[in-house]
Amino acid sequence: MLEDTTTLGPEAVPQRTLLVDLGVDSVTAVVDEDRIWRLHLVRPGFRTTDSLGVGSPVSALRTRQGVEVLTGENQVFLTVAEACGLSFRLGGMEAMRPPALNAIADSVRVEEVLVVGCSSGGVGPA
């Protein structure tokens, strides 16, 4: 572990965060009740088995089955049924309501991947 601190999370609520060195890259982990409940990946060092991750264009996600567009904290996220437990935050986009998937330009890229856990699949080193 590189750092253990308190930061401001959504709606300025204090949250415990850890900066963890995973060898390939470091990630930020958010702790709740002394358990890691979410990882924030902001660099392309980790990818899904089919190469999705930070830097992937929307066009790479659009072709997957079960793509959903979501918003949270005025940000736009894509989830993909086959990438269980992962949310892909899109760069340069803000929205209070989810835009239609076909309205998002192919050139928009994933800026962050949130990992909340899943019993089947996930993300690993690139």
**Measured distance CA(73)–CA(111) in Å, rounded:** 15
Q: Which CATH architecture has domain 3-125?
A: Sandwich (2.60)
Beta-ladder partners of 91 = none
Tokens of 40: 């924030």
Q: pLDDT exceeding 70 applies to what percent of the chain?
A: 94
| Digit-coded pLDDT (tens) for 19-73 | 999 888 889 999 989 999 899 999 998 898 889 999 999 999 998 989 999 998 8
Sign of CA dihedral 101, 41, 81, 74: negative
pLDDT band for position 125 (50/70/90)?
low
Domain boundaries, the chain: 3-125
Over residues 11-24, the mean pLDDT reads 88
pTM: 0.85
